[in-house]
């Protein structure tokens, strides 16, 4: 049985102190049906309260899920902004060096033009007839032809350099447009995230302390039930892979972050979002991986569930908006959502999209 499967069953199955399970038997024997009737009323009220809180849980989870989707869009746009900024810096350097080269070529072309002007611009035949030294003239004519070739070469090089400069300038303009588009996407995603997180926090802040505790318990119950269903499907039967040396380092880093707060867009050292945690963990393992869970899904090598081993990343939900690191024995370490901390939970507690392996 998985780490978060059967070993936790008793904790969820045993009635709590306020469940009334022990009192019912004693109350019925002593008071007849009266106590049973009161308990039935209380049970109905408790069930209604649980239903209300479960609806709140679903609404909060939905808001945080949407915020996580927007976080991925934000991280992607931020990465593109950084990439475009680097491209623009590179193009600016190319433009600067090309402008310097152009200035040198212009000076050279000017010097050659002045030299031709000093020679009087006479046709070669006239210079031969008017000159006192025909043999010397022939030598001069050869040099003149070489000079003309040099002029043509400089003019040709000048034209190519101007073309390069125009190309770099055009590319820089296009990069600026893309940069501005990504900046707008980034700002829009950031506003979307804030709006959804604020709405979820507002919803949760209206709950009393006991209701918040109960809400957390409902979240844990739901995660446990989904994990149990996953384990019951036999998902772990064929999984027996061992972590690689790099995977062990990644796991060690990730588990040492347990208890640190989830903050959207964060990648350590004190707070993390889901993909920020896996990014830093695998950097500790000696591998650079993409920043977002969606890019991790699209760019990293995929492996079958039966071949999964500790250190692999499990990508969740159809839009690849969440990621956790597999620890073995049916468990993952992940950064769940705002208001929660990095923790260990069941690998099957959320719908699995697939598995990726950074060190494949």
Q: 3-state SS of the chain: helix, strand, coil percent to 5?
A: 65, 10, 25
What is the number of other CB atoms lying within 10 angstroms of the CB of residue 297?
22
Residue 244: inside a domain:
yes
Q: What is the pTM of this model?
A: 0.61
Secondary structure E strands in the chain: 302-303, 313-316, 322-328, 331-334, 343-346, 352-356
Contact (Cβ atoms closer than 8 angstroms) between residue 122 and residue 116? no
How far lies 145's CA from each of 122, 152, 158, 261, 323, in Å?
13, 11, 20, 78, 71
Q: How far is it, in rounded angstroms, from Cα 342 to Cα 333?
A: 7
298 annotated active-site:
no
pLDDT for 253 equals 98
Final residue before a domain boundary, out of 206, 232, 258: 232
Tens digit of each residue's pLDDT (9 = 90 or more) over 330-345: 999 999 988 899 999 9
Residue 10: inside a domain:
no
Asked which of 9-13, 59-63, 104-108, 184-188 is least confident by mean pLDDT, the reply is: 9-13
- 207 and 318 part of one domain: no
How far lies 234's CA from each of 2, 129, 237, in Å?
10, 105, 5
Contact (Cβ atoms closer than 8 angstroms) between residue 314 and residue 328? no
Residue 74: inside a domain:
yes
- 283 and 252 part of one domain: yes
pLDDT for 13 equals 29
Q: What is the CATH number of the domain that holds 336?
A: 3.90.1720.10
Residue 5: inside a domain:
no
pLDDT for 190 equals 79
Answer yes or no: is pLDDT of 178 > 50: yes
Final residue before a domain boundary, out of 190, 210, 232: 232
What is the number of other CB atoms lying within 10 angstroms of the CB of residue 44?
10
State mean pLDDT over 324-328. Answer: 97
pLDDT for 312 equals 98
Answer yes or no: is pLDDT of 323 > 60: yes
- 228 and 243 part of one domain: no
Catalytic position from the list 73, 236, 274, 332: 274
- 164 and 271 part of one domain: no
Residue 335: inside a domain:
yes
- 206 and 259 part of one domain: no
- 326 beta partners: 332
- 47 and 171 part of one domain: yes
Q: Give the rounded percent of residues in the chain with a pLDDT score beyond 70.
A: 77
Answer yes or no: is pLDDT of 311 > 70: yes
pLDDT for 31 equals 43
Final residue before a domain boundary, out of 232, 251, 285: 232
Q: What is the CATH number of the domain that holds 126?
A: 1.10.287
State mean pLDDT over 283-308. Answer: 95
Tell the residue number behind the tokens 């770099």, with chain if given: 168
Catalytic position from the list 196, 287, 322, 357: 322
Tens digit of each residue's pLDDT (9 = 90 or more) over 93-129: 888 888 898 888 888 777 766 766 565 554 454 444 3
- 173 and 130 part of one domain: yes
Largest CA distance in the chain: 145
Give residue 276's domain range: 238-360
**Count of the separate structural domains present in the chain:** 2
Residue 16: inside a domain:
no
pLDDT for 203 equals 85
Answer yes or no: is pLDDT of 85 > 70: yes
- 226 and 251 part of one domain: no
Q: How far is it, in rounded angstroms, from Cα 263 to Cα 67?
A: 11
State mean pLDDT over 200-214. Answer: 84
- 214 and 83 part of one domain: yes
Q: How far is it, in rounded angstroms, from Cα 144 to Cα 113?
A: 12
Bigger pLDDT: 36 vs 24: 36
Q: How far is it, in rounded angstroms, from Cα 221 to Cα 9?
A: 10
Q: What is the 3-state secondary structure (H, E, C) of 112-151?
A: HHHHHHHCCCCCHHHHHHHCCCHHHHHHHHHHHHHHHHHH
Q: How many residues are there in the chain?
A: 360
Catalytic position from the list 57, 65, 334, 357: 334
- 121 and 182 part of one domain: yes
Tens digit of each residue's pLDDT (9 = 90 or more) over 228-246: 998 888 878 878 889 999 9
Tens digit of each residue's pLDDT (9 = 90 or more) over 41-84: 555 677 888 788 888 888 888 888 888 777 767 877 888 888 88
pLDDT for 29 equals 38
């Amino acid at each position: 049985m998985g780490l978060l499967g059967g070993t936790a069953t008793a904790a969820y199955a045993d009635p709590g102190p306020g469940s009334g399970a022990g009192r019912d038997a004693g109350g019925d024997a002593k008071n007849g049906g009266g106590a049973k009737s009161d308990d039935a009323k209380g049970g109905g009220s408790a069930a209604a309260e649980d239903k209300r809180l479960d609806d709140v849980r679903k609404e909060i989870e939905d808001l945080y899920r949407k915020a996580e989707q927007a976080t991925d869009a934000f991280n992607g746009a931020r990465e593109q902004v950084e990439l475009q900024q680097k491209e623009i810096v590179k193009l600016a350097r190319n433009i600067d060096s090309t402008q310097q080269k152009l200035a040198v070529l212009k000076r050279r072309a000017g010097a050659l033009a002045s030299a031709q002007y000093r020679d009087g611009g006479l046709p070669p035949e006239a210079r031969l007839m008017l000159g006192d030294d025909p043999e010397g003239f022939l030598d001069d004519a050869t040099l003149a032809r070489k000079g003309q070739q040099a002029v043509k070469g400089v003019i040709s090089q000048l034209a190519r350099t101007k073309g390069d400069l125009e190309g770099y300038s055009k590319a820089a303009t296009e990069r600026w447009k893309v940069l501005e588009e990504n900046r707008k996407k980034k700002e829009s995603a950031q506003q979307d995230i804030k709006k959804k997180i604020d709405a979820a926090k507002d919803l949760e802040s209206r709950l009393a302390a006991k209701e918040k505790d109960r809400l957390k318990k409902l979240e844990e119950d739901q995660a446990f039930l989904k994990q149990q269903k996953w384990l019951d499907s036999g998902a772990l039967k064929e999984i027996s892979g061992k972590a690689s040396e790099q995977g062990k380092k990644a796991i060690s880093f990730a588990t040492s972050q347990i208890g640190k707060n989830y903050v959207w867009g964060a990648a350590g050292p004190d707070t993390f979002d889901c993909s920020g945690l896996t990014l830093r963990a695998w950097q500790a393992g000696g591998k650079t991986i993409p920043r977002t869970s969606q890019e991790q899904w699209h760019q990293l090598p995929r492996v079958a569930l039966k071949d999964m081993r500790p250190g692999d990343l499990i990508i969740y939900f159809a839009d690849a908006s969440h990621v956790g690191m597999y620890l073995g024995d049916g468990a993952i370490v992940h950064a769940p959502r705002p208001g929660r901390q990095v923790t260990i939970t069941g690998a099957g507690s959320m719908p699995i999209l697939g598995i990726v392996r950074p060190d494949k």
